[in-house]
């Protein structure tokens, strides 16, 4: 990291003993990375870790590191004991060093670090703590497995990118809190020991000792509490809230995660969107020095699906979906014809330069398309220049020159491009081409990494049919208000009823979502009926919310932004684990503390609990014997 | 709350339809409590709840309330539909009302509210939601049981004191975060799904679904994580952290509570004390407009015990403890004599004006003294003026006039005062007189409620002997550093070793505590040996902290301030439940959500758990049958 001082000759130490004595206590005078040339000639005290040491036979150079950066310290033989101490320093020892700050000689300047033109001539030094040889060096360039990094997180966090991520995260939360405070939001804490509600993703249970046999649950979000706060008249609520979800972890999910949680009364969708847009703009301006546009585009869910196949479109590149059903309905290609005839459709994307893909690559795309639910994937290469109508590939011969010309013009494809087609139910066409579009854009390098494309997706369907049970289910949660215009169709045609829901999408990633909530109990009752939730069940699960709606609920709505993902995107990190101080692995394990772990039998007995039906290899002495089966 | 407008005649409505139409949407133009006389003549829109309504036959007066306060709205017959709507309003209906703001007539002015000189002439109004008759009126003066208030918290929080408490709490956290940010602290989130460690108070367990038979625990504090963050070089950490403690709840304890959690590197005790003193001064200045002294007194634990009998002395009043062992060692009173002779002591307090206590009251004090562990309580009344040496009471006759004179002068008692004496082990004398002192001060009205007496208690004993096991135990936690001077006595005389611990005390209540931590593994090992924690046990429980200490731990220390208690004291509320949005009862129940509650058998099976050995009345259909005994 630092320069080679070569044969530089250092001046003899100046006499500063008195000042030194005053300075030599635990108080640093400067952070390492903040030492500036203005301090040259002053005695400064650094506190930090030995980032590197080099003994040049006669002079020892030590880089001292703290959270702000690195500063070079020079130990010279004429300092006697101090020099000897310097010679004994090893990586990650904790030191306090004092001495005069001097300018480095010309050839010794390191332009890569902010303190590269200065160095401290050690006149006093203390070793606070010697370090054992560390499993890996925080300043090293070797590749360290993530498991090792997580196990020794206290070393990993000393790495510059991790330190910066935590500093950045602190600043993000500070800007958020300041912004919300300026806009009249009150930070209000909601309980973490919450009631078990068998809705949505699975929740963590917490056995109660005072009520044996009863359980709390950890909240998947403060949703109901923030609605209650609106009924309580708090008007504007915010919290950077910890939420919990006990499920097999998909990539980049954590069992506990953090969201900026907001709720406002007497607002409509546009108010929430305006407020959050303002917050995002402030974050980008203050933390990334990027000026975002005043407003972000609004796009209906339907448009997002039709054009991009997904409800969180990445608009940094084209390759939009094109419905060619009407063009190919009368073609000679049976697959296309049949799909349209049986009420499905045919959609295409034109992959720029995709004509160069090999047969092997095309086969791989087909395999992937099948994984996303397609029966197959048709491909056509566009030949020659735009004027020519030539297509090649296995199905080209089934398409008349007129149809070929129309497809070319409809998809906007040019010579050298590849058309990919899926003929299936609309939802399948969306899903398959939506996913392939993103995959190909990455593969072909079509994405400008320096773009921030924000987008609000609105007018989501309120409900969907559960494919396994056939029942109507809420797409968001059962408290989302339907669009006023669609409310009359709630019972007659619920799948066409849109919700007052909105998602904030950045570069194809959903970073937040929310809705205007139902504030009238009549509407809430109709929704519960639609969802097949009986009055008794509703009363059991949501009694307090239904009560709250009876006693004067204002119109209200809100949003939650995922902190981990937002910060990951802002820092362009590959994983949320890079922006969380102590993340868990995908199996939910904290490799540093080794949580979760078996507990003493006595602890379980005290809670009136027994572990039952474990797979035999999981049984340990500290668990009660199996008394039942989980089959 | 509002005035009686009497026979006031209102002018006919002005024509403002166009402006009104523009204004009639959901956006309020003013909060109710912020309407000012400057707005007179303007059309304003209020959004809120009907706080009260009065139909004066021809004119209807409605108070509209939001979180800021109340504004009076007048509905006049000439407004037709709007008037009819106004006549139909009932308490807690949610309304949006627009109209011109006018000055009230002289006799109708209400000086008790900030908007008492103005009112809105309703020209447009919408009822967002009708309310059922509420269980209690948020503006009412009737006494409502706390259970009812907690069950209907969405109504209770509309009460002015509760709304103010949540606003105040928001401001406290904002000031804290700003202060910490200015002082270089980074807000860093630590896990809530933590590892079970069988230390200290009992913890909540959370079964893991992905690792059946394993458990997380909810943290009693982020103690170990914040130490790890210091080892990781984060230098200054802060968090307003949720903590959990599963224990039979003493009065004013919550199973989940919030603390301002701080940790700093390269600091000593004085640095932490200075920083926190500055924070407290800023809070009092900005939120209470009180200028506290620049520094708060430091008092050693020993002095606190000797003078006040407790380690969190309330210094708002005197009645200090006085050790009279040497004075009474040779008296004729056997109890005193024997106590001193057997290594105990005799301590006294002089209760100002306590001579008026009746025999019954004195008997009650004796009963209480016994409850605190005393074998008895001796009392002596001081007669006449200060010059006279007369004492009365059952034991006066055993004390010679010389001793009486000395006692009077030593305790500072005057005529009419009462001397209370305990002869016992020193700890018992402290406890009994310390508690009686506080009780009597309240009873006799000796406490000035308008005083803020802050105090740092320092130099705590590091260890104590567990009275049941006879083993040495850490007084704070096993990571607290001993005073450097006392370290050599760690093995030879551990009970005299003082800790680098400090408590912040306000008016006799501990509002925070912390310590400088051990940063050297050798010292940590010596402490574990002393506490009888084997190397194996220590490695099992604290492996990651011990590892962290090996790999470069800086000197560090910190503190935690209890948010709930601090805010309760600042607002002079009688209970922490008055400053928490959704508190639990003393049995750990959330009366609004009914948590904790039984869960489905399937949920437990899924976690490989069974409820066992319940008392029979607690068994419900949703729990698995008992398969074991908790005896």
Q: CA-CA distances (angstroms) from residue B510 to A532, B177, B448, B513?
A: 53, 21, 18, 8
Could you tell me if A229 and A188 are in contact, meaning their C-beta atoms sit under 8 angstroms apart?
yes
Nearest CB partner across the interface for A628, out of B27, B210, B610: B610
Task: Give B-chain residues touching A47 at CB under 8 angstroms.
Answer: 265-266, 554
Task: Give B-chain residues touching A551 at CB under 8 angstroms.
Answer: 92, 131-132, 134-135, 152, 154-155
DSSP 8-state symbol, B498: B
Could you tell me if B417 and B382 are in contact, meaning their C-beta atoms sit under 8 angstroms apart?
yes
- Whether residue A211 and residue B588 make contact (CB cut-off 8 A), yes or no, is yes
- Whether residue B214 and residue A584 make contact (CB cut-off 8 A), yes or no, is no
What's the confidence (pLDDT) of residue A56?
Answer: 85
Best of B25, B27, B32, B266 to disrupt the A interface (most A CBs within 10 Å) is: B266
Q: What percent of chain B has pLDDT over 70?
A: 91
Query: Distance, in angstroms, between B199 CA and closest chain A CA?
Result: 12
- CB under 8 Å to A468, separation ≥6 — which residues? none
- Whether residue A157 and residue B232 make contact (CB cut-off 8 A), yes or no, is yes
Task: Give B-chain residues touching A554 at CB under 8 angstroms.
Answer: 47, 49, 94, 128-129
Nearest CB partner across the interface for A581, out of B188, B194, B610: B188
Report strand pairing: B60-66 vs B69-75: antiparallel
Nearest CB partner across the interface for A129, out of B215, B554, B628: B554
Task: Give B-chain residues touching A177 at CB under 8 angstroms.
Answer: 174, 177
Which residue of A lies nearest to B234 if distances are taken between CA atoms?
A67
Nearest CB partner across the interface for A232, out of B154, B249, B630: B154
Separation CA B564–CA B573 (nearest Å): 11
Could you tell me if B324 and B486 are in contact, meaning their C-beta atoms sit under 8 angstroms apart?
no
Strands in B432-489 per DSSP E: 454-458, 463-465, 472-474
Best of B47, B95, B224, B608 to disrupt the A interface (most A CBs within 10 Å) is: B608
Please state at what angle helix A563-570 crosses helix A269-288, rounded to 10 degrees: 40
- Whether residue B213 and residue A65 make contact (CB cut-off 8 A), yes or no, is no
- Whether residue A593 and residue B92 make contact (CB cut-off 8 A), yes or no, is no
What's the confidence (pLDDT) of residue B625?
Answer: 37
Query: Distance, in angstroms, between B577 CA and closest chain A CA?
Result: 13
Nearest CB partner across the interface for A552, out of B131, B218, B266: B131
- What are the φ and ψ backbone dihedral angles of A578, each rounded to 5 degrees? -80, -10
Q: What's the mean pLDDT in B95-113?
A: 92
Nearest CB partner across the interface for B186, out of A167, A177, A588: A167
Q: Provide the b/e sequence for B284-311 (b: ≥16 CB within 10 Å).
A: beebeeeebeeebeebebeebbbbbbbb
Query: Distance, in angstroms, between A255 CA and closest chain B CA?
Result: 8
Query: Distance, in angstroms, between A493 CA and closest chain B CA?
Result: 26
Tokens of B99: 């109209």
- Model pLDDT for residues B337-363, shown as the tens digit of each residue: 999 999 999 999 999 999 999 999 999
Q: Please, where are the H alpha helices in A455-593?
A: 521-530, 535-550, 563-570
Task: Give A-chain residues touching B237 at CB under 8 angstroms.
Answer: none
- Model pLDDT for residues B116-140, shown as the tens digit of each residue: 999 999 999 999 999 999 999 998 7
Cα within 13 Å of Cα(A413), Cβ side: 33
Residue B188 has pLDDT above 90, yes or no: yes
Nearest CB partner across the interface for A610, out of B588, B589, B610: B610
Could you tell me if A610 and B625 are in contact, meaning their C-beta atoms sit under 8 angstroms apart?
no
| Tokens 């006693």, located at residue | A551
Nearest CB partner across the interface for B258, out of A189, A210, A619: A189
Task: Give A-chain residues touching B611 at CB under 8 angstroms.
Answer: 212-213, 608-609
Could you tell me if B138 and B158 are in contact, meaning their C-beta atoms sit under 8 angstroms apart?
yes
Closest CA to A132 of A88, A92, A87: A92
Task: Give B-chain residues touching A209 at CB under 8 angstroms.
Answer: 202, 246-247
Query: Distance, in angstroms, between B45 CA and closest chain A CA?
Result: 12
Could you tell me if A441 and A366 are in contact, meaning their C-beta atoms sit under 8 angstroms apart?
no
What's the confidence (pLDDT) of residue B583?
Answer: 97
Task: Give B-chain residues touching A590 at CB under 8 angstroms.
Answer: 191, 193-195
- What are the φ and ψ backbone dihedral angles of B413, each rounded to 5 degrees? -70, 150
Best of B233, B239, B580 to disrupt the A interface (most A CBs within 10 Å) is: B233
Separation CA B425–CA B404 (nearest Å): 23
Query: Distance, in angstroms, between B385 CA and closest chain A CA?
Result: 56
Best of A32, A175, A206, A603 to disrupt the B interface (most B CBs within 10 Å) is: A206
Nearest CB partner across the interface for A233, out of B49, B194, B228: B49
Tokens of A78: 């004429």
> pLDDT under 70 in chain A at which residues?
1-26, 198-201, 249-251, 385-389, 616-631
What's the confidence (pLDDT) of residue A623?
Answer: 37
What's the confidence (pLDDT) of residue A536?
Answer: 82
What's the confidence (pLDDT) of residue B484?
Answer: 93
Could you tell me if B217 and A595 are in contact, meaning their C-beta atoms sit under 8 angstroms apart?
yes
Closest CA to A273 of A465, A12, A513, A595: A513
- Whether residue A609 and residue B612 make contact (CB cut-off 8 A), yes or no, is yes
Tokens of A320: 């939009």
- Model pLDDT for residues B465-520, shown as the tens digit of each residue: 988 888 999 988 889 999 999 999 999 999 999 999 999 999 999 999 999 999 99
Task: Give B-chain residues touching A170 at CB under 8 angstroms.
Answer: 181, 186-188
| Tokens 């969107």, located at residue | A273
Best of B48, B210, B223 to disrupt the A interface (most A CBs within 10 Å) is: B210
- Whether residue A131 and residue B190 make contact (CB cut-off 8 A), yes or no, is no
Query: Distance, in angstroms, between B450 CA and closest chain A CA?
Result: 28
Closest CA to B235 of B194, B263, B268, B257: B263
Nearest CB partner across the interface for A614, out of B27, B213, B549: B213
- Model pLDDT for residues B8-67, shown as the tens digit of each residue: 333 333 322 223 333 334 578 999 999 999 999 999 999 999 999 999 888 999 999 999
- CB under 8 Å to B111, separation ≥6 — which residues? none
- Whether residue B189 and residue A132 make contact (CB cut-off 8 A), yes or no, is no
Tokens of B94: 């949610």
- Model pLDDT for residues B427-470, shown as the tens digit of each residue: 999 999 999 999 999 999 999 888 999 999 999 999 999 888 88
Query: Distance, in angstroms, between A108 CA and closest chain B CA?
Result: 28
- Whether residue B630 and residue A152 make contact (CB cut-off 8 A), yes or no, is no
């Amino acid at each position: 990291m630092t320069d080679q001082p070569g044969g530089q000759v250092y001046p003899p130490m100046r006499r500063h003993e008195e000042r030194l004595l005053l300075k030599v206590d635990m108080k640093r005078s400067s952070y390492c990375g903040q030492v500036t040339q203005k301090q040259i000639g002053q005695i400064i005290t650094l506190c930090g870790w030995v980032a590197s040491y080099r003994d040049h036979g006669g002079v020892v150079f030590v880089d001292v590191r703290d959270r702000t950066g690195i500063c070079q310290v020079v130990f010279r033989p004429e300092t006697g004991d101090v020099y000897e101490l310097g010679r004994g320093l090893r990586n990650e020892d904790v030191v306090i060093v004092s001495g005069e700050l001097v300018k480095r000689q010309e050839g010794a300047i390191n332009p890569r670090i902010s303190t590269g033109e200065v160095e401290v001539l050690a006149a006093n030094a203390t070793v606070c703590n010697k370090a054992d040889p560390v499993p890996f060096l925080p300043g090293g360039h070797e590749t360290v497995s993530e498991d090792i990094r997580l196990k020794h997180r206290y070393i990993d966090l000393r790495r510059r990118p991790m330190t910066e991520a935590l500093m950045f995260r602190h600043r993000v939360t500070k800007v958020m809190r300041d912004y919300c405070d300026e806009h009249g939001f009150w930070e209000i804490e909601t309980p973490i020991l919450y009631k078990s509600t068998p809705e949505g993703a699975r929740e963590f249970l917490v056995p109660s000792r005072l009520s044996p046999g009863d359980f709390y649950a950890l909240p998947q979000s403060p949703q109901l509490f923030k609605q209650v706060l609106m009924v309580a008249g708090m008007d504007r609520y915010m919290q950077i809230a910890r939420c919990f979800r006990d499920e097999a972890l998909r990539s980049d999910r954590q069992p506990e995660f953090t969201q900026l949680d907001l709720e406002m009364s007497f607002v409509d969708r546009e108010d929430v969107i305006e407020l959050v847009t303002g917050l995002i703009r402030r974050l980008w301006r203050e933390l990334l020095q990027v000026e975002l546009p005043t407003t972000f585009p609004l796009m209906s869910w339907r448009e997002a699906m039709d054009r991009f196949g997904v409800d969180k479109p990445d608009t940094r590149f084209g390759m939009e979906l094109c419905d060619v059903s009407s063009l190919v309905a009368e073609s000679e290609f049976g697959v296309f014809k049949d799909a349209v005839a049986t009420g499905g459709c045919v959609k295409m994307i034109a992959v720029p330069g995709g004509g160069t893909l090999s047969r092997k690559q095309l086969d791989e795309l087909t395999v992937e398309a099948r994984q996303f639910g397609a029966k197959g994937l048709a491909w056509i290469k566009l030949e020659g220049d735009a004027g020519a109508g030539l297509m090649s590939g296995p199905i080209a011969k089934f398409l008349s020159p007129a149809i070929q010309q129309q497809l070319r013009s409809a998809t906007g494809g040019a010579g050298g491009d590849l058309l990919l087609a899926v003929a299936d139910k609309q939802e399948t066409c969306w899903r398959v081409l939506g996913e392939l579009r993103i995959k190909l854009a990455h593969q072909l390098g079509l994405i400008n990494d320096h773009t921030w494309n924000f987008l609000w997706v609105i007018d989501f369907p309120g409900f969907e049919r559960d494919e396994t049970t056939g029942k109507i289910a809420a797409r968001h949660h059962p408290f989302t208000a339907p669009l006023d215009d669609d409310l009359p169709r709630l019972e007659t045609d619920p799948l066409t009823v849109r919700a007052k829901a909105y998602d904030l999408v950045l570069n194809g990633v959903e970073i937040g979502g929310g809705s205007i909530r139902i504030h009238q109990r009549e509407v809430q009752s109709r929704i519960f009926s639609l969802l097949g939730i009986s009055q008794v069940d509703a009363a059991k699960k949501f009694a307090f919310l239904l009560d709250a709606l009876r006693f004067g609920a204002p119109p209200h709505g809100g949003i939650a932004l995922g902190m981990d993902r937002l910060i990951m995107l802002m820092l362009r990190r590959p994983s949320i684990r890079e922006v969380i101080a102590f993340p868990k692995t995908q199996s939910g394990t904290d490799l540093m503390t080794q949580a979760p772990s078996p507990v003493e039998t006595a602890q379980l007995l005290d809670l009136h609990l027994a572990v039952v039906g474990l797979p035999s290899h999981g049984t340990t002495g500290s668990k009660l014997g199996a008394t039942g089966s989980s089959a």
